[in-house]
Amino acid sequence: MSGAIFVKRYDDPERCAAAAAHHAWLAGLGSGVRLPALVARSTRHLIFERLMGHAPGVEDLPRAAAALGRLHAAAHRDALRTACLDQPHIASTGLVISDFASPRQAALHHAAAAAGVHESVINAVLDRVGEPVTFYKDPNIRNYLANGNEVAVVDFDDLTLAPFGYDLAGLLVTASMTYGRLADLSIARCLRAYRVAVAPQICSLADLKRYAELHHLLTLRYLGRNGYRHAWPTVRPWPDPFLTELS
């Protein structure tokens, strides 16, 4: 980091090019959500405008959820209305956005086997064919910057199709693993802020709970690193929905 810029370095030129393409696609959605400008690039570096702010605290989570909802709504409205979750989508820019299940299926089944979760439960959550489509973009709370009433979104390494609510669940899981159990009121405010941005009927609490378990399985290996201090089963604010579905 130097002056008013932030330099993101990549060992793989393809990853660097993909991140730049993801940023361009997200910036072109016209969501009104702040993204850092990409000011220069090389084969292994992306140089972004440096934005002021800090990783959202618990009090900032509803604003982060609202920003995420605005991005998701804009993506569906302007780019993904005809997309299907089980097929890659080719954007007008030529960017190929992977389907929902393929990039995470193997890792989920491996983690589920270790955690004692039945494969059929994972498959049921992954199989969201026919639902409205938006995107996934690593919702780790460290990929947001809160500055007063504004929340900006940073880090553009990963992008796939996803159902509405999937990234919101990831935001809440990573916040819980970082700060501890979230109060019911905090979760309700986040869900309400997200729904206001997308649509009141989109993303049920039941779906949010199931998506949270997918994020838990995919984040297990990071426990004790990257600020993740709390295991999800110890801070989960509701009973394990996977166990309920298996009973």
DSSP state of 39: E
Residue 119 is predicted with a pLDDT of: 85
Residue 136 is predicted with a pLDDT of: 98
Residue 63 in contact with residue 52, Cβ under 8 Å? no
Angle at 85 between CA 171 and CA 138, to 5 degrees: 25
pLDDT digits 0-9 by tens, 127-146:
888 899 999 999 999 999 99
Q: Phi, psi (5° rounding) for residue 45?
A: -140, 140
Rg (CA), the chain: 17
Give the containing element (helix H, strand E) for 72: helix 61-75
pLDDT digits 0-9 by tens, 88-130:
999 999 999 999 999 999 999 899 888 888 888 898 889 888 8
Give the list of residues 6+ apart from residue 213 with CB closer than 8 angstroms, or none: 117, 125, 240, 241, 242
pLDDT digits 0-9 by tens, 9-50:
999 999 999 999 999 999 999 999 999 999 999 999 999 999
Instruction: Average the pLDDT over 223-236 and give the result.
Output: 95
**What percent of the chain has pLDDT above 90?**
84
Residue 247 is predicted with a pLDDT of: 53
Instruction: Average the pLDDT over 177-203 and give the result.
Output: 94
pLDDT band at residue 2 under the 50/70/90 scheme: very low
Classified as helix, coil or strand, 53 is coil
Fold of 53-246: Aminoglycoside 3'-phosphotransferase; Chain: A, domain 2 (3.90.1200)
Angle at 191 between CA 234 and CA 117, to 5 degrees: 40
Whole-model pTM? 0.94
Among 178, 98, 104, 105, CA closest to 133: 98
Annotated domain spans of the chain:
53-246
Residue 121 is predicted with a pLDDT of: 85
Paired tokens of 159: 């992008």
Give the list of residues 6+ apart from residue 240 with CB closer than 8 angstroms, or none: 213, 233
Lowest pLDDT segment from 4-8, 90-94, 173-177, 242-246: 242-246
- How far is 197 from 193, CA to CA, in rounded Å? 7
Quick one: CA dihedral 44, 75, 133, 59, positive or negative? positive
Among 224, 220, 26, CA closest to 111: 220
